Amino acid sequence: MDLMNRLGNCHNQYQGNFKKVLCVCSAGLLRSPSTAFVLSQEPFNFNTRAAGIVDSFALIVVDQVLLEWADEIVCMDASQTNIIKRNLENYGINNKPVHNLKIPDNFEYRNPELLKIIKEKCYELYFPMKE
């Protein structure tokens, strides 16, 4: 499928009114798919994808189409956040929230402690306490 078809398809109206969140880590294998799993469940119920930013490691590499598709991007660390912001700017994609969960790369896929950390950080991000 060529780029124009993929770009057109990322705006498919039948995806529903769910918030689309791209979860990003280095390889897109451990932290970001674990985050995508959490965010696809209650209480979030987001439409999620996971991808990596390191071409030589990632099975699914963050590209223009995924960045265009997402309503928001959730990264695991500051370096990924900076790369994503630079990529958004390079593609002319403006006003898209990019969040840094500050989760270190020392967990296995869906590790219970990782899931607990993700749930806590995402709950704070999407349901902040009113003071």
pLDDT tens digits for range 64-115: 999 999 999 999 999 999 999 999 999 999 999 999 999 999 999 999 999 9
Q: What global pTM score does this model have? A: 0.92
pLDDT > 70? residue 117: yes
Is 10 contained in some domain? no
Write out the DSSP string of 14-27.
GG-SPPEEEEEESS
Is 43 contained in some domain? yes
- For the chain, give the percent of residues with pLDDT over 70: 98
Query: How is residue 58 written in tokens?
Result: 């990632």
Is 2 contained in some domain? no
What was the pLDDT predicted at 130?
64
Is 118 contained in some domain? yes
Is 95 contained in some domain? yes
Angle subtended at Cα 116 by Cα 110 and Cα 69, rounded to the nearest 5 degrees: 65
Angle subtended at Cα 118 by Cα 104 and Cα 67, rounded to the nearest 5 degrees: 80
CATH number of 61's domain:
3.40.50.2300
Query: Residue 119's domain spans which residues?
Result: 18-126
Per residue in 55-69, pLDDT (tens digit) is 999 999 999 999 999
Is 8 contained in some domain? no
Q: Taking residues 118-131, what's their average pLDDT?
A: 89
Is 131 contained in some domain? no
The CA distances from residue 42 to 10, 78, 114, in Å, are 24, 27, 17
